[in-house]
Structure 1
Amino acid sequence: MGLDRRGFITFLVGGAVGTLFTPVPWKLADDVSIWSQNWPWIPKLQYGARSEAPSLCKLCPGGCGLSVHKVGKRPVTAQGNKNHPLSQGGVCPLGSSAVQLLYRPARVKGPLKKNNGRFEAISWEEAAQIVADNLKGKKIAALSGDENGSASEVLAGFLKLLGSDDFYFMPSDAQVSQRAWSLMEGKGQLGFDLENSDYVLILGADILSSWGPVVRNQKAFASRKGKFVYAGPVQTGTAATVDKWMPVYPGQEGVLALGICYYLLKMGKSASLKNFGLVRDYILSKYTPSVVEAKTGVSAAQVQKLAQDLVKASAPCVLVGSDFGQGSGAFEWASGILVNLLLGTLNQKGGLVALPENKVITSAPWRSELNQKSFLKFLDEVEQGKAVDGLLVYEANPLYALPQPEQVKTVLEKIPFKVSFSTFLDETAMACDLILPAPHFLERFDDAYTPFGVGQEIYSVAAPVIEPIFSTKSTPDFILEVANKLGVDLGFASFEEVLQAKAESLGTDLESVSAEAYTSDKWLAQNSLSLPVEILATGLETEGEGVFLAPVARNYLGNTKQALTPFEVVVVKEFELQKKDFYIQVNKNTANKLKLKQNGKVKLQGAGGECVARVNITETVMNDVIAAPLGFGHQAWDEFAKGKGDNLFKVLSVKEEKGSGLKVWNRSQVKVVRA
């Protein structure tokens, strides 16, 4: 008898029902489950007492305190430290990844030496001898991405004793503000007392997303006493959150500041400047309402309203900074400082404050001195023939995070001996002769002294919360070891001793500041300030050809020293990255003018190269501006960051600012070509 349709269905149903009553599939499923749980690469569940340990996040310059939750001896997660003044229980996306980054695939597991283009493992003893041999009697430079840690102080002091002044920080607003303040004959480090201000005008800096001590800024905004207003070209996280967003063309925040000064001067406001009369006359004659409106895109009526609102406030504060945390000039900062001076808020509660400095390595220059030096100018000198025998790179990735990275790579190839102390296998580490990995910051002693942007003196120290997982060594301890081999005395035998000395110099001790950050409300009095008029002339320069480019830094995409983390891949938005293409943002008017379509492919062409991207049309960008994210386009690291999008740094154009000598790239313009 043949099998008809009814018989076939009966057979299937009967088989399915029968399967439910046989133990075979259930036993097989149980065996598979047991087998899969015993794969050798699956982490084994560990038991133990739960505890918390205070620590310090070093993934950005913000200096936030962390509370690391542990099970037994193993960290399992990191949250904001409720008792730390800069975190107050909050944590940013990068900080939340702290524990996971202990196990990031890109971690360097031990000291490596390049041999015929390939890296091979060496011992730390061999590494120390190689470094000592290559530094003795040679011309050495160093670059650091840690702008507030004592590790940089050790490195700078070491170079000084070797006879070198070539210590540099990676570019940031901390350097630009210091240069502007020094040109005005100011002392100390500038900060902003946001917590006590009742009207905060933010010119450019994306303070709630990526600029300065982000978590502290967010806490200050959440408990604000008045109004926050943001002026910038893109509706960033800050612009979308504050009370008002005022669109301003990229790099023109300084012009807007002087437009406000114009109205303040018309109201009879004055500032304690030695050359106040000259400055006043220059602004009133050159930065008229029509000029400011044409340069910024902000109407004269709006500028006047800003000036009036600032005067009405009892504790106003004007905070200036680059939209993406770097590349601005002394012009923007000097202009923003001048607004605060005219409002009389310098060293006043809720205003602009000047904070003291501190150092314990006698040979190290003061931070204010180091912050005025430009690594890009150093690269120009090397390109022009300056002899440099060796370069030490700590917590920095210049081959990715400087404008025109291909040109940077070409220049650095002229330096015969390069050492990276990177914890991770980044682009710069791959190009070095030695990689001597620093421990992850949770595995080492580290500190942060008064992160840039805060309104008070703060010192935080972190002790290790876990033993090093790999064969790594504290970079400052390694430098002290090499110094000993070279007969150079920095005055300390270990980095822990350096931290103890710094704590004692502030009237506390290492144990105390490890448990609770030191704070002080001391401000530095300013005796005699001035403002070189030639700095103010920068804002009147004509712009080049092309469309304004507004780079956007987003914390969760990484920063200049940390790539997109495995923990944050899932939060990248569909209008930021699709497969291997990243997105630029333009509004409808700009898209029509440039004949761009949604999801269309384009090339951005700049002075140093080009980027390939897709188009997202959105009204979160002002007219005639292209916004594009930083953080993509890595060629090293691991599968979580490598090969995703393009590196926007390739199209940024650099020029030298007259009057300050600074290199600036926040006014970049690009040509857009459909691909």
Structure 2
Amino acid sequence: MSEKRIGVCNLCEAICGLELTVEGDRVTAVRGNKDDPLSRGHICPKGVAIGDIHADPDRLRRPVRRVGDTWEEIGWDEAFDLVADGLAKAINDHGRDALGIYLGNPNVHSLGSMTHGTAMVKTFRTRNKFSATSVDQLPHQLLAHLLYGHQLLLPIPDIDRTSYFLVFGANPMASNGSLMTVPDFPARLRALHDRGGRMVVLDPRRTETARVADEHHFVRPDTDAWILLAMLRTVLAEGLATPPAYVDGLPEVTSAITAFTPELAERASGLPADEIRRLARDFAAADGAAAYGRIGVSTTRFGSVCQWAVQLLNLVTGNLDRVGGAMFTNPAIDAVGTGLIGRGHHDVWRSRVRDLPEFGGELPVSVLAEEIETPGDGQVRALLTLAGNPVLSTPDGARLERAVTGLDFLAAVDIYVNETTRHADVILPPTTALERDHYDLVFHLLAVRNTARFTPAVFDKARDQRHDWEIYREIALRTASRLHQRKPLARRLKERARLTMSPTFLIGMLLRTGRSGVTITDLRKNPSGVDLGPLQPDQLPDRLQTDDGRIDAAVPLVLDELPRLLEEPLPATGELLLIGRRHKQDCNSWMHNSERLTKGRPRHQLLMNGADLAERGIADGATVTVRSRVGEVQVEVSATDDVMPGVVSLPHGYGHQREGVLMERAREVVGVSINDLTDPERLDVSGNAALSGVPVTVSASRS
């Protein structure tokens, strides 16, 4: 007999509410939950496929260990002991920094990983920590830390009330927002248009978002910084700025950006100078405007400059902390205000080989391969990956794959044997989304409306399964018991107590101490969620976590980058620059083994402007060789006017045709890994990988 259950899709940042039809232990139908106050019934193809993950025959349900070239199922106690032995041996023999840890994107979508995964990582005290942050949003977090005093005190566009939405390098029609949790973006955009508002998009590709914009402007990849600085210069030079009283450093900013004229920006980006001036003036004149830049500008060589300029555009035009502008959320659990998530710190230590600074306790993942390969004190000898696939997700994945094969020990907490975990000695698979309780600690912080929702597990876990938080507890405690250098008793007891409390218990405690008045009992009675209202203005300067309670716009780290930007050579004639792309049916480097998400027209091709193909004598649909400094791939090419001349595009997360990957459907999905072309030496000053704007050549492949 079927029954209805309320669920949640935690596969992406939209955190849409679901209504599931369940028969026994199977999901037979999925609909958007119309009663959810944030997602309002919206659902995308990934949400429809959430039951596929639960039922996936490729998914691991019990621990496995490597035996030669095959895998053998083992019991949990044996698996935990093998992992603890391997990690402890590396630490005991070579020091605590001999252990490297990589956290993948799914960790932030799991309550247990947020409450216990981070706690486990802290117990190891290694400096060799890495995550997907440094191939994604690190410039956002660094600038939030430097401007507002906390890495996640991020202003969110008030999309439901804005009159002018200015978008750089973002595609919310496909992503439903990123660092802006905005489920049902299409309906919200229609509402913006109905009230007479406008959306303007700058992007080297005519994305799904660009197609429905009031204006779309092609800009060369990796040149947004020139445009943003020219717009900021126009606002300041023409007397259009209305900054709040708690902002310092604007004279220094004005002086520092004098050379970044619209004419210089035109030469760099291809966007006419008069258009740049008009956009700046229109933005400053709008009654409630929000500028938003996302992964297309963060993953460039000047991502931090871009994010600084985006923040300052909102700030100096009076659109920060204003209805219709960019505002801060008031979540039921304020992970920022309570200190649950730390403020962040920068350059407390540096990487051993390339001398790159950490941020928030993590080093740039672009240095991981060299830290494994290079002998000496602090060399990574053992690696623990948590829900991550860095071979597909980080620069020069081929080199990283070669590096991990030389490790003394590799363990993974993951539900799949993928391109990275296939090299593991042991894999520990946790339960999946429908088998565990869920509360979004981060994405309520980033949402376009204040809501709260607790979602109990839809299915009970089997007796021979473990939740991720239970796995993290056992790894931490068993490894600690094997270390030669023991921690003080008080610290050991504190860590044990922290790791023993369940995530659901912790959520109940955090809600009770919050200011919203919402309790976990309230949320259990209202499984669709509780509406806490729209974003609120006039929270600054009180919400700032800077030492002096003010904003210093003249960020030294950014101002020091501006001379380097001025020295950059302008794009060469005939140069091709590679950008990525993502689709609604993809979830980073996984979910390609769901038939309902991979059927239909192939999406793996290299997109290339027809004029560029003709210039090289390449036919539409031909197989081409794409080369960068670090590698080459062969892939079919597709002619399109959706990318500007001089730009080519490959999707992120493909390249599953590797021997030993135990995801049969995924291995059938044609495509290559864009990160066999991206370059670990191309970095933003934050340490974020510059995955966008990679110079490549494209030629017809020899038959």
- Which residue of 484, 487, 510 maps to 2:520? 510
Distance between the aligned counterparts of 1:311 and 1:117, measured in 2?
62
Specify which of 122, 125, 129 is matched with residue 160 of structure 1: 122
User: Does the 8 Å CA contact 1:397/1:428 hold for their aligned counterparts?
Assistant: yes
Identify the residue that residue 337 of structure 1 maps to in structure 2.
Answer: 311
Q: 1:391 aligns with which of 383, 389, 392?
A: 383
Return closer, same or farther for 1:317/1:559 CA change in 2, 3 Å cut-off. same
Of 153, 165, 168, 1:200 maps to 165
Shift in CA distance, 155/340, structure 1 to aligned 2, threshold 3 Å:
same
5 Å-filtered alignment, 1:189-268, equals 189-190=153-154, 191-210=156-175, 211-212=177-178, 213=181, 215-224=183-192, 225=195, 226-268=197-239
Contact persistence 1:186–1:529 (CA under 8 A): no
Q: Which moved more, 1:558-567 or 1:598-607?
A: 558-567
Which residue does 2:489 correspond to in 1?
Answer: none
Q: Kindly state the Cα deviation for residue 565 of structure 1 after the two structures are TM-superposed.
A: 2.3
Cα distance change on mapping 1:370 and 1:93 into 2, 3 Å: farther
Instruction: Please tell me the residue identity of whatever aligns with 2:550.
Output: N
Q: Does structure 2 retain, via aligned residues, the 8 Å contact 1:259–1:292?
A: yes
Question: What CA distance in whole angstroms lies between the structure 1 residues aligned with 2:639 and 2:504?
Answer: 52
The aligned counterpart of 2:145 is 182
Q: 2:397 aligns with which of 382, 393, 405?
A: 405
Q: 8 Å contact 2:8–2:16 — kept in the other structure?
A: yes
C-alpha displacement of 1:436: 0.8
> Match for 1:125 among 66, 77, 87?
77
Describe the shift of the 1:133–1:517 C-alpha distance in structure 2 as closer, same or farther (beyond 3 A): farther
**Shift of residue 209, structure 1, vs aligned partner:** 0.6
Q: How does 1:545-560 map to 2 (within 5 A)?
A: 546-560=575-589
1:18-48 deviation digits (Å, cap 9, x = unpaired)? xxxxxxxxxxxxxxxxxxxxxxxxxxxxxx1
Q: Deviations over 1:187-235 (max 9, x none)?
A: 3431222122111010001111125246343342232141111110111
Which residue, 290, 293, 299 being the options, matches 1:317? 290
**Structure 2: which 5+ runs fail to align?**
346-358, 482-491
2-side partners of 1:294 and 1:595: how far apart? 28
Can you list the C-alpha shifts for 1:642-668, whole angstroms capped at 9, x where unaligned? 141211221122335464344322221
Q: Is the 8 A contact 1:92 1:214 kept in 2?
A: no
Q: Give the Cα separation in 2 of the matches to 1:505 and 1:192.
A: 28
- Bigger Cα displacement from structure 2, 380-389 vs 590-599: 380-389
Q: Does 1:141 align with 2:100?
A: yes
Structure 1 CA distance for aligned equivalents of residues 451 and 407 of structure 2: 37
**Alignment partner for residue 609 of structure 1, among 602, 618, 631?**
631
1:102 shift after superposition: 1.7
CA contact (8 A) 1:418 1:432 kept: yes
Post-superposition shift, 1:111? 0.6
Deviations 1:223-279 (A, max 9, x none): 214111111011111111222211111122222211211221222134464322121
2:29 to 70, 74, 77: 77
Question: Could you say what the CA RMSD is over the residues aligned between the two structures, in angstroms?
Answer: 2.9
1:533-556: per-residue Cα shift (whole Å, max 9, x none)?
123345432267741112111121
**Structure 1: distance between partners of 2:340 and 2:215:** 47
The one-letter amino acid paired with 1:509 is T
Shifted more, 79-88 versus 334-343: the winner is 79-88
Mean Cα deviation higher: 481-490 or 76-85:
481-490
The verdict on how the C-alpha distance between 1:170 and 1:512 changes in structure 2, with shifts beyond 3 A counting, is farther
Secondary structure at 1:256 match in 2:
helix
- Residue among 458, 467, 470 paired with 1:474: 467
Higher RCO (C-alpha under 8 Å, 6+ residues apart) = 2
1:501 matched residue in structure 2: 509
CA distance in structure 2 between the partners assigned to 1:261 and 1:671 by the alignment: 34
Structure 1 residues 503, 566: CA separation in 2 closer, same or farther (over 3 Å shift)? farther
Farther-moved stretch of structure 1 (72-81 vs 621-630): 72-81
TM-score norm. by structure 2 comes to 0.81
Query: Does the 8 Å contact 1:445/1:464 carry over to 2?
Result: yes
CA contact (8 A) 2:431 2:467 kept: yes
1:527 aligns to 2:550 (yes or no): yes
CA gap of 1:104–1:124, structure 2 versus 1, over 3 A, is same
Cα distance change on mapping 1:642 and 1:563 into 2, 3 Å: same
Whether the aligned pair in 1 keeps the contact of 2:166 and 2:291 (CA below 8 Å) is yes
Secondary structure of the equivalent of 2:666? coil
Residue 469 (structure 1) shift: 6.4
CA distance change for structure 1 residues 79 and 94 in 2, over 3 Å: closer, same or farther?
same
Identify the residue that residue 11 of structure 1 maps to in structure 2.
none
Distance 2:420 2:17 in 1: 28
Which stretch shows the higher mean deviation, 127-136 or 298-307?
Answer: 127-136
Q: Confirm or deny: 8 A CA contact 2:31 2:43 kept in the other structure.
A: yes
Provide the rounded CA distance (Å) in 1 between the counterparts of 2:21 and 2:299.
Answer: 34
Q: 1:316 deviation in Å?
A: 0.3
Q: Does 1:568 align with 2:597?
A: yes
CA drift of 1:558 comes to: 3.5
Are the aligned partners of 1:149 and 1:449 in contact in 2 as well (CA < 8 Å)? no
Match of 1:435 in 2: 427
Larger CA deviation: 395-404 vs 229-238: 395-404
Paired residues in the alignment total: 619
Distance 1:504 1:552 in 2: 42
Measured in 2, the distance between the counterparts of 1:461 and 1:340 equals: 33
2:412 corresponds to? 420
Compared CA separation, residues 303 and 447, structure 1 to 2 (3 A): same
1:664 to 672, 675, 690: 690
Aligned to 2:324: 350
Partner of 2:578, secondary structure, is strand
- Contact 2:63–2:426 (CA under 8 A) maintained in structure 1: yes
Q: CA deviation at 1:98?
A: 0.4
Would the alpha carbon gap of residues 186 and 595 (structure 1) be closer, same or farther in structure 2, given more than 3 Å must change?
farther
Confirm or deny: 8 A CA contact 1:653 1:668 kept in the other structure.
yes
Query: Are residues 555 and 186 of structure 1, via their aligned partners in 2, closer, same or farther at CA, if it must alter by over 3 Å?
Result: same
| Partner SS, residue 206 of structure 2 | coil
- How far off its partner does 1:365 sit? 4.6
1:423, distance to aligned residue in structure 2 (A) = 1.7
Change (3 A) 1:472 1:241: farther
| Amino acid in structure 2 at the alignment position of 1:162 | F
- Equivalents in 2 of 1:179, 1:371: separation in Å? 12
Q: Taking structure 1 as reference, are residues 125 and 398 closer, same or farther at Cα in structure 2, changes over 3 Å only? A: same
**Runs of at least 5 residues in structure 1 that lack an aligned partner in the other structure:** 1-47, 577-581
Moved more, 321-330 or 419-428: 321-330
Give deviations 1:440-492, integer Å, cap 9, x for gaps.
Answer: 21112233223275335555433211134694311112222344444542423
Percent identity reads 20
- Cα 1:457–1:414 shift into 2, 3 Å: farther
| 1:389 Cα deviation from its structure 2 partner | 4.4
Question: Where does residue 98 of structure 1 map in the other structure?
Answer: 50
Give the aligned residue type for 2:620. Q
In structure 1, what is the Cα distance between the partners aligned to 2:250 and 2:275? 26
* Structure 1 CA distance for aligned equivalents of residues 381 and 644 of structure 2: 47
The yes-or-no answer on 1:58 pairing with 2:5 is: no
Select the residue among 642, 648, 651 that pairs with 2:667.
642
The alignment's TM-score, normalised by the length of structure 1, stands at 0.84
- 1:31-87 CA deviation, whole Å, 9 max, x = no partner? xxxxxxxxxxxxxxxxx1432x22222222332222222235642122222233442
Q: Counterpart of 1:473 in structure 2: which amino acid?
A: R
SS at match of 2:292: strand
- 526-535 or 449-458, larger mean C-alpha shift: 449-458
